[in-house]
Amino acid sequence: MKTYLYKILIIVITSSLLSHAQESSEKKEIIPAKLAIIAIGPKPPRRYGSAAKADDQDGEPDVNAGSAAALLPPKPGEIPPRRLHFELKKKKKKPGAKKDDKKSQKDLKSINVTFNNPSHFIEVPPSKTLKLQRRDKSELSDYISISPLKPGSMTVILLRPTGKGDKRWVSEPKQVKIDLLGDELKNKRLAILNLSRKPVKSIYHDKKKMIPSGGFQAYESIEGLELHRIAAAYGQENKIIYNTALRLNKSKRLLFYVLYDANPNTNDGRTVGLFRTSMDPEEEKKKEQEKIEKEKVTPE
């Protein structure tokens, strides 16, 4: 009888250990996605004035006041929200509580939104729609939804405004999703995305190409070439957007150029603006792999 009970006890303990090991393995297999959000659009005009007086009927700054004029901040709708928020759900069970007593607790996480400037990546849950909200004073409201990202992916979301004037960024913006680890950018050193309404003439070394509105072009470095000449222009007058030379063989970094509709009054008279950034997807992928390997060998 004792032998029989002993065998049952061994089976129960073994089953429990296997179940625990399986749960731990499942948890480790969930690799987060990496996400960066960059808003691309016209810079708002500069305004100068003094602080609004108490008797101002419209609440606007009194530019005729006697005090020295100061640079005024942009109106809220002229620029995108600086930060968006999403919810992470965590289930907590009190000791001794029944299954029906489980309560879901929401944990709020933020992601920065840069405006015509490079951003950094944060880890987000993969394989699920990410609903991002903006904060207006103390209230949160829905702003954009990002379709599910693959585990281990590196994605840049470019936002484009859909409104005009001081309401340019109030309504839900358009999205452009860029998969940095996708085949389209593999081994590339320069990528150009034309989000402007103008077709753009592009030069890469001795290659000339017209990039249409919405068009995309990516280039590999030319082996043995020290300086790669790149240039772009638009319109009948061939207004220069950029004209420079790059050392693309010195690094494995990807240079990413985005062309967009700009306000000529805040863009040196040009209606096509340029946003540029650089990143090394392979290096980021290597760091992520090292992190995963480290977690595998780290005991619990």
pLDDT, one tens digit per residue, over 99-147 is 544 444 568 899 999 999 999 999 999 999 999 999 988 889 999 999 9
Average pLDDT, the chain: 82
Tell me the per-residue pLDDT of 166-198, one tens digit each, with 9 for 90 and over: 899 999 999 999 999 988 998 899 999 999 999
Over residues 210-220, mean pLDDT: 96
A 10 A CB-CB count for 7 gives: 10
d(CA 288, CA 213): 35
Is the per-residue pLDDT at 96 higher than 90? no
Is the per-residue pLDDT at 54 higher than 50? no
Centroid of chain to Cα 112: 8
Per-residue pLDDT band at 85 (split at 50, 70, 90):
very high
Q: Can you give the pLDDT at residue 269? A: 93
Q: Can you give the pLDDT at residue 102? A: 46
User: What tokens appear for 29 in the block?
Assistant: 């297999």
Over residues 8-22, mean pLDDT: 52
